[in-house]
Amino acid sequence: MQLRENGVFAIDKPQYFTSFDVVAKLRGILGIRKIGHGGTLDPLATGVLPIFIGKATKAVDLVADSLKRYTVTVKIGIKTDTGDITGDITERSSVIPDEATLREVLSSFIGVGEQIPPMYSAIKVNGRHLYDIARSGAVVERNPRPIEILSINLLNYDQLQKEFKYEVYCSKGTYIRTLTEDIAFKLSTVATVFTLRRTQSGPFSEDDCLTFETITKYVNAGDRDFILPVESLFSSLKSYTLSDKQNYLFMNGVSFPVDCIKEDEVMLKILYKGKMIALGKTIEGNLKSVAKFV
């Protein structure tokens, strides 16, 4: 049975794999070249990594922009150059906060704010990844970026072991290593990420995730059902069905009025002959293409 060559699924990223490592391994398992991922995870991190194959890769940015949920274990009293336990220790502190203070500081981060990306990140400056610049021993100025923390909760605190675990639900672009260091700064101490797991990325939760081993078994058995159609990501969107004439215009990049949709800036599933072929958006009463999947 031939594998579906366009679609999506989520993998449970193993620790110490980069997101690119995951894509490279899946290319070998699936025998498909065009594969992308939604939302980079640090090598230390595990958890939900959305995977897109074939024409579904056009939806990568749409899912990467969605909300994320993480569980984080933190070691208090040390700070590293990478922001996690894999780095070299650069600072120590003997200040260990009490639980009430920790809870209060965590809750203070809820809301809209700004964050300066860490040097050890995949952002490019003048064509170079920040992590490459950091490995050369240099530091460059980074502009703050807007983020939003929707919720943040303390799950466990072992004051004797100087460790705590928290869960955070946040916007795209939130760096958990930086958030952890900012929390520590507000506690008048230092800290670093010990473990990090993404438990949700957009519509995918950790319960939806597959492993390399499971995917290999499916492929060897000729089972393609684990690859979901791209429309499964957008079940909550309203639909708009194109006529033959509208389909011709739409597929050739021509916008046209849609009188039945009164709201502006509305994202729509675009259907033609009963099949989802694209995403579109209403702009000043006209329908424009966002991503095409055919």
Predicted confidence at residue 4, as pLDDT, reads: 63
From first to last of its 294 residues, the chain has per-residue pLDDT tens of 344 678 999 999 999 999 999 999 999 999 999 999 998 899 999 999 999 999 999 989 887 778 999 999 999 999 999 999 999 999 999 999 999 999 999 999 999 999 988 877 777 777 777 778 778 777 777 888 999 999 999 999 999 999 999 999 999 989 999 999 999 999 999 999 999 999 999 999 999 999 999 999 999 998 888 999 998 888 888 899 999 999 999 999 999 988 777 778 888 999 999 999 999 999 888 999 999 998
Say what the pLDDT of residue 15 is: 96
Q: Give the C-alpha separation, 262 to 248, whole Å.
A: 23
> What single-letter amino acid sits at 97?
P
Given this chain, do its domains 7-65+203-230 and 68-201 carry the same CATH topology? yes
pLDDT the model gives residue 1: 36
Quote the pLDDT of residue 70.
98
Interior angle at CA 217, CA 213 and CA 218, nearest 5? 120
pLDDT in the model for residue 41: 93
Single pTM value for the model: 0.89
- Out of 12, 42, 81, 84, pick the active-site residue: 42
> What's the confidence (pLDDT) of residue 65?
78
The DSSP secondary structure of 41-64, one letter per residue, reads --TT-EEEEEEEEGGGGGGHHHHH
Q: Pick 7-65+203-230's CATH classification: 3.90.1170.50, 3.20.20.70, 3.30.2350.10, 3.40.50.300.
A: 3.30.2350.10
Please give the Cα distance from 293 to 279 (Å, whole number): 8
pLDDT of amino acid 128: 78
Which has the closest alpha carbon to 255: 285, 231, 286?
A: 286
Domain 68-201 has CATH 3.40.50.300: no
Phi, psi of 71, deg, nearest 5:
-115, 135
Determine whether 42 is an active site residue: yes
Torsion angle of the four alpha carbons 161, 162, 166, 168, in this order, in degrees rounded to the nearest 10: -150
Distance CA(96)–CA(98), nearest Å, equals 7
What amino acid occupies position 105? V
pLDDT at 219: 93
The reported pLDDT for the residue numbered 236 is 85
Q: What pLDDT is recorded for position 2?
A: 44
The answer to whether the CB of 193 falls within 8 A of the CB of 44 is yes
The CATH superfamily holding the domain 237-292 is PUA domain (2.30.130.10)
Domain ranges in the chain are 7-65+203-230, 68-201, 237-292
Task: Locate 66 and state its tokens.
Answer: 């969605």
pLDDT score recorded for residue 52:
96
